Amino acid sequence: MNAVLGHADYAVAGWLTKALTGDYALTTANAGDDEARAAMLKFTGAGPFTVTLPSVSKAYLVWNACSAGVTLTTGAGGAVSVDPGDIVQIVCDGANVKTPGYGGLSIKDFVAATAWSYNAGALPAQAGNAGRFVKTDGTNASWQPISSSDLSDFSTKVLGVQVALAVAL
C-alpha cells in the first residue's frame, strides 16, 4: 500500500501494479495493508494467469498489461477474462466476478461481437472476404472488392481539401 494514502483512500483511489510470474491470490489483511484493498490493479508479465480476488464485495478497475489473458475469479463463482492491453471495470459480489453491462466481455470484445452479429447476421460473414469492404445499398450489406467508382467521390473530396489547404497557406 502507498504509505501516503490511508486504507480508505487506497480503497477508493489506490493503485497496485503487480508483476505476475504465475497464478496469484491478492493478499488480504483486516485493518492492515494489503493488495486487494487497491481500487485499481495493473498486472504485468507474460501469462496467461489467473488472479484470485478475496470473496468480498468490491469494485476494481483492472488493466491487463500482460502479453496474454488474465482471468479474475474468487474461485467460487463466475470469472472474467481480460485480454492483453484491455482496461476493464469489474465487480465482485463476494462470489462472482463480472463486468458491468458487457456480459463478461471487455468493451472492445463486446463491440466487436455486437457489430458482427447485429440483427441475427445482418452483416455478412468475414470468412473468405479478405481485402474487401462492407458496402450497403441502404437495405442490404455485402462484401465487395474496392472499385474505382467507390474512390471517385473520395478522390474529388481529397483533392478539394488539398487545393483548399494550398490556397489557405
Q: In the chain, where are the structural domains located?
A: 7-108, 124-168
> pLDDT band for position 29 (50/70/90)?
confident
Any bridge partners for residue 60, and if so which? 90
Could you tell me which residue, 158 or 109, shows the higher pLDDT?
109
Q: Retrieve residue 100's grid coordinates.
A: 458491468
Tell me, what's the pLDDT at 160? 52
Tell me, what's the pLDDT at 21? 95
Peptide bond into 84 cis (omega under 30): no
Tell me, what's the pLDDT at 157? 54
Tens of pLDDT, residue by residue over 33-69, are 788 888 889 999 998 999 999 999 999 999 999 999 9
Averaged pLDDT for residues 77-94? 90
Q: What's the rounded Cα separation, in Å, for the pair 62 and 90?
A: 7
Tell me, what's the pLDDT at 52? 93
Mean pLDDT is lowest, of 33-47, 78-92, 153-167, for: 153-167
Could you tell me which residue, 102 or 166, shows the higher pLDDT?
102
- CATH number attached to the domain at 7-108: 2.60.120
Averaged pLDDT for residues 114-129? 61
Q: What's the rounded Cα separation, in Å, for the pair 36 and 44?
A: 16
Q: In whole numbers, what is the pLDDT of the chain averaged over residues?
A: 78
pTM of the model: 0.61
Q: Which region, left, alpha or beta, applies to residue 43 given φ > 0 means left and ψ of -120 to 50 means alpha?
A: beta
Positive or negative: CA dihedral 64, 68, 73, 79: positive
